[in-house]
Amino acid sequence: MAQTQVDRILQTVREAQRAYAGYSQEQVDRILDAMNEASVPLADQWARLAVEETGFGRVEDKVTKNLFASRDVYRYIRPMQTVGFIEVDAASAIYEVAQPMGIVAAIVPSTNPTSTAIYKTMVSLKARNGVVHSPHPAARRCIAAVVNTLHDAAVKAGAPRGIVGVLEEPTIEDTQALMAHRETNVILATGGMGLVRAAYASGKPAYGVGPGNVPAFIERTATVDKAVRDVIAGKSFDWGTICASEQSVIVDEPVADEARRLFGDHGGYFADDKEKALLEAAMVSPDGHVNPKIVGKSPQAIASLAGFSVPASTRVLLVKMEGVGRDHPLSMEKLSPVLCWYVEDGWEDGCKRCIEILRYGGLGHTLSVHTRDLEVVRQFALHKPAFRIIVNSPSTHGAIGYTTNLPPSMTLGCGALGNNITSDNITPLHLIDRKRIAMETRPLEGETNDPLPPLVSQKDRVASAAKAFVEDRMSRKDVSARTGRAVSAVPAAGGDLPVDFVSEQDVRKAMQEGRKVLIHSGTLLTPLARELGEEHQIFERR
């Protein structure tokens, strides 16, 4: 049988990944640094390529997404331990060792092509996997530009040649073959429900993400002006192409008039009944699917396609709605700056409407609530069928971890409610397998053997990671140019200047001494340090 494009690429990546699996944490992180350094200066160029090729979104917002994937994701995953002993519980005699999954099949959409390619490459290689990208055909050139640049940067930093691959001429058949191929170990799929179902049906482990029909509820105690600005910012960002963007706004009746006025002040345009009918005809096909011609287009372009015009200042089109479902076609996920408008009296009725919307194509994804009432937040958290409840922030930016402390990610799981395997924001820790070493603690009979000393202590593991981090940073002459600050000689917290690295030990020491830990936007925190420091409000940003 003749060797196919998929066979050839997977064979190359497999050979590279076998070598890469033996790399140390220091080698892996040096490669991650190199990809970060290569991608940041090209954020604007790649954004323009994406808009030119796909016709979706706005260049300035795609620049932000590219920088988010190349900087924010990098800063979050850089301190992660993905090699060797990653979890140590000496008291329970349980140890966890990271093992790469192998080859990641990365399915990349046309709506967020370059940012998703950056993100999936970084998280895959951080976990010591190889990765093969299957681009949406409408975005193959801009995705290939990203993948080839990151591959070259990784190889220059010491990665095996061929560790990152891309299908240059992708087809549906090639994507299906990639997902089902014997050399593929795990699938990271971003796309429509048909693609996600195909990923899960491939017989391979898969992280597929469902649609995001996201409701945003503005409750009567909210700071209404901020809530309105947040909803518009989220919905208009890259013209609605992120799956976590708001699809409907539900406004509490006592603040509805104020909210409507503020939406108008900040760039919202309320369609009348005739314009609503024109939008329904232009945006949704008779079989209930979104017209691809309106995806990622401006409000002006969508209105023109529908047969009317809106002011140049318009950022979002709003359509008054009475219900949810097939009889109300615009109540679905629209991937465009068109927002449904509902008014409900009280948070209980607002809650019911949010659940209706989530059940119509958004179960498990994201919901945002704008309120000053903690009981409302508590009730939404306990009872709403969404796994990201974003409070007082744009859902678009909050769900991906841009305006919140959720893990920065371009792949957002929807859990079992959305037919997904996880409800997490996907990170490198989802792309490793964990070996568990368990020492006997309760012998079946008689006395156990003399206990062995700990394989490795948590203290030694953190100290080793911190030492390697600082040595690597100190050896790189371009650190000051990249961060704007010199790297500390030791990873210690405290002092008058912000530090560049913080471990759990640093946080605990600061807590004992009753002081803050000064950090800056580029400070790298170990996951345990981040969790403990935020819990006890130890960090002070400079």
> What are the residues facing 165 on neighbouring strands?
132
Contact 187, 179 (CB under 8 A): yes
**Sequence-separated (6 or more) residues with CB below 8 Å from residue 25:** 81, 82, 83, 84, 465, 468
Kindly provide the b/e burial profile for residues 382-393, where b requires at least 16 CB atoms within 10 angstroms of the residue's own CB. Answer: eebbbbbbbbbb
Query: How do strand 364-370 and strand 338-344 relate by DSSP bridges?
Result: unpaired
Which H or E run contains 106? strand 103-108
Quickly count: other Cβ atoms within 10 Å of residue 4's Cβ: 14
Question: In this structure, what DSSP letter does residue 433 have?
Answer: E
Q: 243 an active-site residue?
A: yes
Please report how the helices 527-535 and 504-513 are oriented relative to each other, as an axis angle in degrees rounded to 10.
30
- 299, amino acid identity: P
Of residues 142, 243, 351, 354, which has the active-site annotation? 243
Residue type, 109: P
Nearest to 366 by CA among 498, 260, 211: 211
Pairing of strands 206-208, 214-218: unpaired
Cβ atoms of 74 and 54 closer than 8 Å: no
Checking DSSP bridges between strand 268-270 and strand 316-320, what pairing results, if any? parallel
Question: Using CA atoms, how far apart are residues 217 and 357, in angstroms rounded to an integer?
Answer: 11
- Helix (H) / strand (E) containing 251: strand 246-252
Catalytic residues: 243
